[in-house]
Structure formats: structure tokens, C-alpha cells
């Protein structure tokens, strides 16, 4: 029995998670060999307001006993953003060595890219997830004095770079890709980014010699995402660059409501965590109109990770079948369907295809 920890979180996180759990139940009805047990944890901003902390002291020890985590979204006006990030998301990513942030960017049947061209976009982003620009190193001193200053250090380690590039190479080898694109800025960030370039080159040459490696400055790369996104196959990037590229990536294939992600510990020593790219969307929370596809696709990635690529494929197929049929679409993709109508339609597509 595979054990999954489910953390719906805040805002639309709770709404889209309900739909992902419906889809999981449907898959289990269709295929009794899918033995998955879920436990729901209430850790969220509500929990913070009640208890003064985002999750209990022993939360990480508890999560450690699970095979994977399915997460919704977190963020609420009552809790400062740095608390939700540094007391919840970052401890899970760092403690569980989820150093790969994996984000597919793929045109789905039935969705027209806002680039207004009929592009076949299909690439993945490997974003370094535990160090780089998002390091808790630095300081802010002399507050309210003329000499006030803030320093934020970027920390790049050889091991950190090697592990994320290796993960990208492994994926490229496994899926028969021909090219890896590295996001850099070594012309201006001459210490850490040169270090990134050197080690990226070495790892690709050593472990995936048949792959072409192209290093592209981040400012040019964002333009290429708009001009020729179909040229990319696998992108490897530092934490900050990967974060920005991922949101742009989701925008060019139809928006946040369609974009899944995975925080992966490739060694499977710790549980990996699967979550939509979007946040808690306070502007639409409680209205029942959020698109649950990003959450449901995140569930699909989780299923692939726990050794059920067949179930992953079925879910992605069902999402595309519903989008292509076109009758059920949520507001973000030009329709009027509710969150639960979209979840129900995906379950129905699964049931019909059994």
C-alpha cells in the first residue's frame, strides 16, 4: 500500500484538491491494483492563525513516513508571505532534499496558446530547488539609517549544480531527447554563474555525451520562449531563473490553471511533493471557479513517480479528452464550468475509457 500525505492548504488549494482526490478515487474504482492510502493534514494559514505555527514541530518526522506528498497551495493575507514560504514550503523542500523542481510545459489538445500560433510546445524545466538565489543567507542592517543595507547571498555548490544537471541528463537520456538548454547569466554574474556553466558543461560531457548542450543568457531565453518555444526539450536552471521561466512557460501554454509541478528527491530517500504551480488565488477563492487541472495533473506526476506511469498517462489523456471535447471549460480558459464540473468531467472521461 502506497501512503500519500495530502495537504490542501489555503484558498483554491482546498477546492482543487477535492477534485484531484475525486480523480484518484475514480482511478482506484477502475483499477483495484492501485493501492493508495491518503491522509489529509490541515496545515495551512488557518492552522497558523489558531496555533501560531504553520505546521507542528514533528510535521517533517510525520511526513517522512509517507511515500509522497500531494500539496495544494498556501498563501493568505493574514500570514506574511515569508512565513508561509520559510516555515512551510522551504523546510519541506530542503529537509527532504527535493532538489529537482520538475515542471512540464506542454501544449494540451484543446487549448490555444496565447502566442496565437499553433505551436507544438513540449519541454520540461529542471529547476534547482534547494539553494542558489533562494538561500537564507544575508542580512539587513542599519534599519532606518542612511547607511541602511541589505545583502542576499546566492549560494551555489558544486554538489548542488551537479545533482540538478545530472537529473536533467538522466531524464533526457531516458526520454531520448537530443538537447539540453542551460539558463545562465555568466557575462554579468561572473562568480556563481561561471561556476554553474563550468560544472554544467562537465556533467553533460561526462554523463550524456550525445546530448547537445546550449547555454543561453536568461534575458535572451525569455525572448526565445515567446519566439520559438517549440525548439526546447529540456531546460536546466538555477532556483530563481527556473522559477521565472516556469511561470512564463505556463503562460505560453495556457496559464497557471493548467501547470503542474513536482519537487523531487530523485534518490527516493525522502518523499517527493507534487503541487500546482499556482498559489492560493485569493481573488477567486471560495467562488468554486478555479481550474483544477494543474492539481489533477500534479496528481498524475505523483502516480508516475510512485511507479504507475500507466495511471499517469490515463489522467493526462482524460484531461486532454475533456479539453478537446470543449464542452467543459473553466473561466481561466474561456468557459463557464465550475471547479467541480471540471473534476467530474475528467472522472467521467476516465470511467468511459475503462
Residues near ligand ATP (CB under 6 A) are 12, 16, 75, 256-257, 278-281, 283-284, 290-291, 294, 332
Nearer to ligand ATP, 16 or 167 (CB): 16
Nearer to ligand ATP, 21 or 294 (CB): 294
SS (H, E, C) 303-351: HHHCCCHHHHHHHHHHHHHHHHHCCCCEHHHCCCECHHHHHHHHHHHHH
3-state secondary structure of 133: coil
Q: Compute the distance between CA of residue 251 and CA of residue 272 in angstroms, rounded to an integer.
A: 25
Q: Supply the Cα-derived Rg of the chain in whole angstroms.
A: 20
Closest approach of Cβ 23 to ligand ATP, in Å? 15
Q: Which residue is nearest to ligand ATP (CB)?
A: 279
Smallest Cα–Cα separation from 46: which of 16, 15, 79?
Answer: 79
Nearer to ligand ATP, 84 or 238 (CB): 84
Closest approach of Cβ 140 to ligand ATP, in Å? 21
Nearer to ligand ATP, 238 or 280 (CB): 280
Q: Which helix (H) or strand (E) holds 105?
A: strand 100-106
Nearer to ligand ATP, 160 or 276 (CB): 276
In angstroms, what CA-CA distances link 220 with 183, 184, 331?
Answer: 9, 10, 32
Are 108 and 313 spatial neighbours (Cβ–Cβ below 8 Å)? Answer: no
Q: Compute the distance between CA of residue 71 and CA of residue 77 in angstroms, rounded to an integer.
A: 19
Q: Compute the distance between CA of residue 346 and CA of residue 340 in angstroms, rounded to an integer.
A: 10
Nearer to ligand ATP, 236 or 294 (CB): 294
Closest approach of Cβ 193 to ligand ATP, in Å? 26
Closest approach of Cβ 281 to ligand ATP, in Å? 4
Closest approach of Cβ 246 to ligand ATP, in Å? 11
Closest approach of Cβ 89 to ligand ATP, in Å? 10
Closest approach of Cβ 88 to ligand ATP, in Å? 11
Nearer to ligand ATP, 160 or 279 (CB): 279
Nearer to ligand ATP, 12 or 167 (CB): 12
Closest approach of Cβ 280 to ligand ATP, in Å? 5
Smallest Cα–Cα separation from 285: which of 7, 17, 70?
Answer: 17
Are 213 and 183 spatial neighbours (Cβ–Cβ below 8 Å)? Answer: no
Closest approach of Cβ 307 to ligand ATP, in Å? 28
Nearer to ligand ATP, 82 or 283 (CB): 283
Q: Which helix (H) or strand (E) holds 2?
A: strand 2-9
User: Which contacts qualify for 222-230: CB closer than 8 Å, 24 or more apart?
Assistant: 222/248, 225/249, 225/252, 226/115, 226/252, 229/105, 229/115, 229/119, 229/121, 229/123, 230/119, 230/120, 230/121, 230/122
Amino acid at each position: 500500500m502506497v501512503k500519500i500525505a495530502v495537504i490542501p492548504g489555503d484558498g483554491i488549494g482546498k477546492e482543487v484538491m477535492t477534485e484531484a482526490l475525486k480523480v484518484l478515487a475514480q482511478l482506484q474504482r477502475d483499477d483495484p491494483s492501485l493501492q493508495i492510502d491518503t491522509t489529509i493534514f490541515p496545515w495551512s494559514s488557518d492552522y497558523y492563525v489558531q496555533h501560531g505555527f504553520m505546521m507542528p514541530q514533528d510535521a517533517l518526522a510525520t511526513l517522512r513516513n509517507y511515500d509522497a506528498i500531494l500539496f495544494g497551495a498556501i498563501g493568505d493575507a493574514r500570514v506574511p508571505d515569508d512565513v508561509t514560504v520559510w516555515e512551510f514550503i522551504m523546510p519541506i523542500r530542503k529537509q527532504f532534499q527535493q532538489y529537482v523542481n520538475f515542471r512540464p510545459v506542454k501544449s494540451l489538445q484543446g487549448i490555444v496558446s496565447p502566442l496565437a500560433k499553433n505551436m507544438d510546445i513540449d519541454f520540461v524545466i529542471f529547476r534547482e530547488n534547494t539553494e542558489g538565489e533562494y538561500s537564507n543567507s544575508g542580512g539587513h542592517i542599519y534599519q532606518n539609517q542612511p547607511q541602511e543595507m541589505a545583502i542576499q547571498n546566492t549560494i551555489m555548490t558544486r554538489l548542488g549544480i551537479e545533482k540538478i544537471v545530472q537529473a536533467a541528463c538522466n531524464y533526457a537520456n531516458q526520454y531520448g531527447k537530443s538537447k539540453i538548454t542551460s539558463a545562465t547569466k555568466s557575462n554579468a554574474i561572473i562568480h556563481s554563474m561561471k561556476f554553474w556553466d563550468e560544472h554544467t558543461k562537465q556533467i553533460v560531457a561526462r554523463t550524456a555525451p550525445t546530448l547537445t548542450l546550449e547555454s543561453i543568457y536568461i534575458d535572451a531565453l525569455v525572448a526565445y520562449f515567446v519566439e520559438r518555444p517549440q525548439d526546447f526539450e529540456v531546460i536546466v536552471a538555477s532556483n530563481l531563473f527556473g522559477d521565472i521561466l516556469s511561470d512564463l512557460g505556463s503562460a505560453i501554454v495556457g496559464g497557471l490553471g493548467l501547470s503542474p509541478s513536482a519537487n523531487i528527491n530523485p534518490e527516493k530517500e525522502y518523499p517527493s511533493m507534487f503541487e500546482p504551480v499556482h498559489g492560493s488565488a485569493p481573488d477567486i477563492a471560495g467562488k468554486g471557479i478555479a481550474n483544477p487541472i494543474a492539481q489533477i495533473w500534479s496528481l498524475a506526476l505523483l502516480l508516475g513517480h510512485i511507479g504507475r506511469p500507466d495511471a499517469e498517462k490515463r489522467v493526462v489523456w482524460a484531461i486532454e479528452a475533456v479539453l478537446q471535447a470543449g464542452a467543459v471549460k473553466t473561466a481561466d480558459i474561456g468557459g463557464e464550468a465550475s471547479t467541480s464540473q471540471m473534476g467530474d468531467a475528467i472522472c467521467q472521461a476516465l470511467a468511459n475509457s475503462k
